[in-house]
Structure 1
C-alpha cells in the first residue's frame, strides 16, 4: 500500500493542532459550559485541561511508537486487540461527526443567528464539495487561519480587559457552583481541546515522528490552554455567568457589553474562519478514519473507494458530509457538543488503556487519563450520555455482525 509523504515538522504539526483546537472550541463551548458550571467555569477549564494533558501524553507516546494514519484506531488494535481498535475508530467517527455539526452551527450562530441551521448546512455542503475535488488546506493556509484567529482573540481580550466593564468578582466560584456542574462543564469544554488528535492522526505524514509528535502535542495544548484561559476569564468578567450561559455568540455579546460594537464584525469574521477551518480539518480527519476502517472491513467496503482523478476517499467524504448536514439541520450546539464529547472521551479512554500497556513509566498518567475520561463522559448531560451509549451499542452490534466474515485483519 502506498505510504503518505512525510513533510510536516514540529512547527507545522503545532499549527495543525492549534488550527483544530482554537477554532474548534473557544467560539462554541463557553456558553454551554457556563450553563452547566455557572461561576465555576474557570475551574472546569482547569479540569478539562488536566484530562486533556493526560490524553495528549498518551497519544504522543503511542503515535511515536506507531507513526501511521488512524490514531487510536491503530493504537487500540495493536496494543489491546482488534475490537478495541474498532471501538476507538467508531467512537472517533461518530464523535467527530458531531463535532463537524457543532462547528457548522457555530459559524451559523455568528454569521446569521436567525438562520444558523441553514448556514450550517450550506457550509457543510460547500466544504464537502471542496474536499471532494482534493483541494486540501495547505500548511500556509492553516498558518494564516491560526494567525487571524489568534489576532482576533488578542483584540477581544485586550478590549475587554481595558474597557472597565468587567467585574473581577465574577471570576471567583460562587454559591451556584456544584461538583457535578463543574465536571459536566469540563466534559463540554473537553470538546475544545480534542484537536491534538489531529496531530496524532497525521503520524504517517510527519518527519521523524518519534521526536516531532511528542513535542508538538504538549506545545499545541499549552498554547491553547493559555488562549482559552485569557478569553474565558475576560468574557466571564464582562458578561457574568448567567448572560454567558444564555449567549449563542458570547465573544460578540461581550464586545457589545463592553461598548465596543466596532469589534463585533471582526469577531464575526474570526469566528467564521475558525469554525469553518476546523470543519474542513474535521471532515478530512473523519473521512480518512472511515477510509482506514473500510479498508479493514469494519465499515462498508464502498467507503474505501479512492477517486481515480482527485485521489481522495470520495465515498467516505460524501457519506460524512451527508450525515453532518443532517445533524446540523436538526441539532443544537449544546447537544452536538455533548454527544461529540462523549464519543471523543471514549476514544481517549481507549488511548489511555493502550498507553498503560507500554510499561510502568507510562502507567500513572495513563490511569489518570482513563479515570478522567470515564468521569467526564458520564457527567455530561443525560441525553448526550444515552445517545452516546446507544450509538456505541450499534457499533458493537455492527462489529459482531462483520466479525465472522473472512479477510478481517488480525482475526
Structure 2
C-alpha cells in the first residue's frame, strides 16, 4: 500500500504503512546493541543492571513521546534536525543533525564489524564487513519498501535467536560459588543506563523517515510507541534470563554474554545465537544507513550540507547520493579502525540529539502536544544526566567532535551563508 505520490521532484514517496514503520523501529533497537551492550552495562552497574535498564527505558520513553508528537507536526525527513530548526533555530537543528550523522556513522561501521565478527571471524572480518556495507547500501538504494522487507526478515531471525537465549537462560542458574557481586555506586548505575541507551537508540528512527510514511500524523506516533514498548519487553526478558544464568559478575566478565548463555549445556544454541547476532547487526546497519541518509538529505535541503546531497532518485525515490557517500565513508571506517569505543561515542551523540528533540517538544503549542509537557522536561534531564556520566573517553571524544562541527558551520557561514532549498 502506498500513499499519495511525491508533489515535487526532490520529494520522497509515502510507502511505509504502520507495520512497516513498527518493524523499522524494532529492527533498529533489537539489533546488535542487545548482543553487546549488556556486558559494559553490567560491568558498570553490577547487581543493579535491571535498574539501569529501567532508567534507560524511562529516558527512551520520554524521548519517544517528544519525537512522536514532533513527527506528527513535521512529517518530513530529518528528525530532530528539522524539529530543532523549526522550533529552536538553525544552530540547535544543526547540532542535533551533526551529532546524529557523526555518531551514527561510527555506529554503522561498528554494526558492520559486529556482523562480520560473528559471520567470518579472523582475517576475513573486515572484507566481509565491507561487503555487508555495500550490500545493505544497495538494498536502501532500491527503495524504502525493500528496506522494510529485508528488515522484516532480519528482525524475525533476531527474535528467534533471543528466544533461544531466554530458554537456555531460564533453565540454568548461576553457580552458588560465583564471585560476590561488588556494590554498585549511583554513578555506575547511571553509566550502565547510558550504555543500555545505545541499544534503545533506534526507537524514533521512523521519525527521521517521516516523509515516507503513509498518514504520518497518525502512523508515526503509534509506530514509535509500539516499537519502543515491544523492545522494552524483549530487553527485560533477555536481561532477566541472562542474569539468572550467569549472574551479574558473569555477565560483566564476558564481552558476549548472550553467546555465553547459549553455550551452556542444553542444545545447539551457539549456532542459533551466532546467526541471530549476525542478522541483528545487519538489521541495525540497514536502519542506521536509512536514517543517516534521510537526515543528510534534510541537512542538504537546509543548506547545512552540500546541496548535491539533496538529490532524490527519480525512480526509487531515495536520497541516492547521500546514501552512496555514506556507504563509502562507512566502508573506509571499517577498514581503518576497530571502533571499540563506538557504543559510548554513539550514546553521546544520540543523547544530545534527543535532548534537542525534547526541548523542541517543550515549545510546542497545546494543540500540537499529545503528551504531558513534563515528559519533555524529564527527557531533557535524563539525556543530560546520562551524557555527563558516560566514561571520560567517550565524553571527551564526543565533545571534541561536537565542537568541531560547530566551528565548521561558523566558518562556512562567514565564507558563504547557506541557501535553504
Q: What's the TM-score, normalizing by structure 2? A: 0.88
Give the corresponding residue for 1:402.
Answer: 412
Contact kept in structure 1, 2:164 and 2:272, CA below 8 Å: no
- Return 5+ residue gaps in structure 2 as ranges: 1-7
- 2:304/2:418 contact within 8 Å kept: no
Mapping of 1:328-339 within 5 angstroms? 328-332=334-338, 334-339=340-345
- Give the aligned length: 406
- 1:209 is aligned to 216
Q: Which residue, 379, 392, 402 being the options, matches 2:402?
A: 392
**Does the aligned pair in 1 maintain the 2:26–2:202 contact within 8 Å?**
yes
1:298 pairs with one of 297, 304, 309: 304
Q: Offset at 1:77?
A: 0.6
Q: Is the 8 A contact 1:356 1:366 kept in 2?
A: yes
Q: Please say if 1:234 is aligned against 2:244.
A: no
Q: 1:48 is matched with which residue?
A: 56
Deviation at 1:235, TM superposition (A): 1.5
Whether 1:148 aligns to 2:157 is yes
Task: Select 1:72's aligned residue among 69, 74, 80.
Answer: 80
Distance change (3 Å), C-alpha of 1:386 and 1:299: same
Q: Give the distance between the partners of 2:129 and 2:48, measured in 1 at CA.
A: 30
* 8 Å CA contact retained: 1:45, 1:189: yes
Q: How does 1:11-410 map to 2 (within 5 A)?
A: 11-115=19-123, 116-132=125-141, 137-162=146-171, 164-166=172-174, 174-256=181-263, 258-260=264-266, 262-306=268-312, 312-332=318-338, 334-359=340-365, 362-404=372-414, 405-409=416-420
State the 1:406 CA deviation: 4.1
Q: CA deviation at 1:247?
A: 2.5
Alignment CA distance shift 1:113-1:185 (3 Å):
farther
Structure (1/2) with the larger helix percentage:
1
* Distance (whole Å) between structure 2 residues aligned to residue 301 and residue 205 of structure 1: 21
Name the SS of the counterpart of 1:150 in structure 2. Answer: helix
C-alpha separation between the residues in 2 aligned to 1:18 and 1:67?
20
CA contact (8 A) 1:40 1:174 kept: no
Q: How far apart are the structure 1 equivalents of 2:407 and 2:296?
A: 17
Q: Tell me which moved more, 37-46 or 372-381.
A: 37-46
Given that 2:140 and 2:147 are in contact with CA atoms closer than 8 Å, whether structure 1 keeps it comes out as no
Q: Are the equivalent residues in 2 in contact too, given 1:109–1:249 (CA < 8 A)?
A: no
How many Å separate the matches in 1 of 2:144 and 2:58? Answer: 36
- Tell me: CA distance 1:330–1:241, structure 2 relative to 1, closer, same or farther (3 Å): farther
* More displaced stretch, 4-13 vs 337-346: 4-13
Partners of 2:176 and 2:222 lie apart in 1 by 35
CA distance in 2, matches of 1:75, 1:20: 21
Q: CA deviation at 1:274?
A: 1.1
